[in-house]
Amino acid sequence: MKVKLTHISLIIIVIIAGIILYITHSANKSDTIAEEAAGESPHGYSTVLEEMGLISPQQALQDYKQLSIYPPNSRPLSKENIDLLMPNRRYEQPLPIEEGSDIYYLFTADKYRVVGDDTITFVLIVLRGTKPDSERIPIAITKSVIKKGIHKNKAKYYAELSLAKNTTGDYTAELTCSQSFSSEKKSSAYWAEVEFNAGNEHVEAAIPFEYFPENTIPAKFTGNFKERIAGGSLYVDVEIDVYRKGYYIIDANLFDAEGEPVAYTVQKQELQSGKQMVPLLFFGKVLLGKKAKPPLTLKDLRGYRFIEATAPDPEFMDREMMKPYDGEYKTLLQSLQGLSDKEFEDDMKRKRIEFLEKESTGDIGVQ
């Protein structure tokens, strides 16, 4: 049975609080000490959240009420949600070759996960400053390799990485993993490592990536879609051909007629082998609140089969990736008529609000 860290912290807090109260009572301390222990709670004791050093219960209640007007699997999407709009992007940033230097380098790639016969392109940029059009600095690459393993320091040499200078003065290498790693039958983590000299400085850089061979792909999107309005919300049913049954997570983004991001959805469910339709929910209040202009377009359709670890394994991969759908689906919806502006409600939401309301009034806490 797994014990969450928050539960352990709560138990520790309760024990410590009990010891403090015992000492305080035994020593017959003044009311001033008791007030300090009580904090600002109207009931004379600190709340669980405050004892754990988190946000105040009142703020937690307010934030949850504001967020839970939408269901957890269908929420608004904006241009600021880069991780959702570009789900396989990387986040490396230019770094100085030494502290205080005006010469920076960036070693990155165009994606993090490589699925099936997809390619991954690596790029090494060394420039004066951090602007894309800054002057390129000549370098001498002394090492450029691929290593296999989740942990960089334990990863083992796997292959050479042939970085070549292009017309802009940067160094690139396009890698087709299905060809270069043709003997691989299991998904794994890899590292691209490079060492180079820039002036008098020797620089080492490494970035991770993951590869999922074709035989590990558990299902595929067929390109068949249906749509319907039910319960005041839009549903887009996506057909998936499942090769291996299991627990799947399917994600997609929705855009309006002007290309503005509107909503994203996450569907989590058990899927059986064979072709089946999976419903993707786009909550009515989200679409109305964003004033989405039809027709709407579903893009960035992606998913994976979740794998639960059954034994300790330092090289364990917790998912089998599907190939992202390379097309899009334009809905037949011509207006927002039939959608509902009603807030999301369910038993879990009501119970959580009840708990937070008790917490915010001091009915749950550490005496």
Whether residue 188 sits in one domain with residue 107: yes
Residue that finishes a domain, picked among 181, 214, 247:
214
Cα 120 to Cα 118: distance, rounded to the nearest angstrom: 7
74 in any annotated domain? no
Whether residue 192 sits in one domain with residue 108: yes
Identify the pLDDT of residue 364: 56
Identify the pLDDT of residue 50: 52
36 in any annotated domain? yes
Identify the pLDDT of residue 54: 60
Number of domains in the chain: 3
Residue that finishes a domain, picked among 214, 238, 257:
214
More confident residue, 46 or 216: 216
Q: Mean of the pLDDT values across residues 112-138?
A: 94
> What percentage of the chain exceeds 90 in pLDDT?
71
Q: Mean of the pLDDT values across residues 75-91?
A: 96
Q: How many CB atoms neighbour CB 236 within 10 A? A: 23
50 in any annotated domain? yes
**pLDDT of 1-20, one tens digit each?**
444 444 444 434 434 444 44
Q: Give the 3-state DSSP-derived string for the chain, with helices as H, strands as E and coil as C.
A: CCCCHHHHHHHHHHHHHHHHHHHHHHCCCCHHHHHHHHCCCCCCCECHHHHCCCCCHHHHHHHHHHHCCCCCCEEECCCCCHHHHCCCCCCCCCEECCCCCCEEEEEEECCCEEECCCEEEEEEEEEECCCCCCCECCCEEEEEEEEECCCHHHCEEEEECCCEECCCCCEEEEEEHHHHCCCCCCCEEEEEEEEEEECCEEEEEEEEEEEECHHHCCEEEEEEEEEEEECCEEEEEEEEEECCCEEEEEEEEEECCCCCEEEEEEEEEEECCEEEEEEEEECHHHHHHCCCCCCCEEEEEEEEEECCCCCCCCCCCCEEECCCCCCCEECCCCCCCCCCCCCCCCHHHHHHHHHHHHHHHCCCCEC
343 in any annotated domain? no
> What percentage of the chain exceeds 70 in pLDDT?
84
295 in any annotated domain? yes
Q: Mean of the pLDDT values across residues 217-240?
A: 98
Q: Residue 245: which pLDDT band, with cuts at 50, 70 and 90?
A: very high
Range of the domain at 13: 5-68+352-361
- Lowest mean per-residue pLDDT among 33-42, 280-289, 317-326: 33-42
Token match 């390379």: residue? Answer: 326
Whether residue 316 sits in one domain with residue 242: yes
Whether residue 300 sits in one domain with residue 247: yes
Mean pLDDT of the chain: 86
**pLDDT of 33-77, one tens digit each?**
333 333 344 444 445 545 555 678 788 888 877 788 999 999 999
The answer to whether the beta carbons of residues 203 and 173 sit under 8 Å apart is: no
Q: Mean of the pLDDT values across residues 123-152?
A: 94
Whether residue 47 sits in one domain with residue 140: no
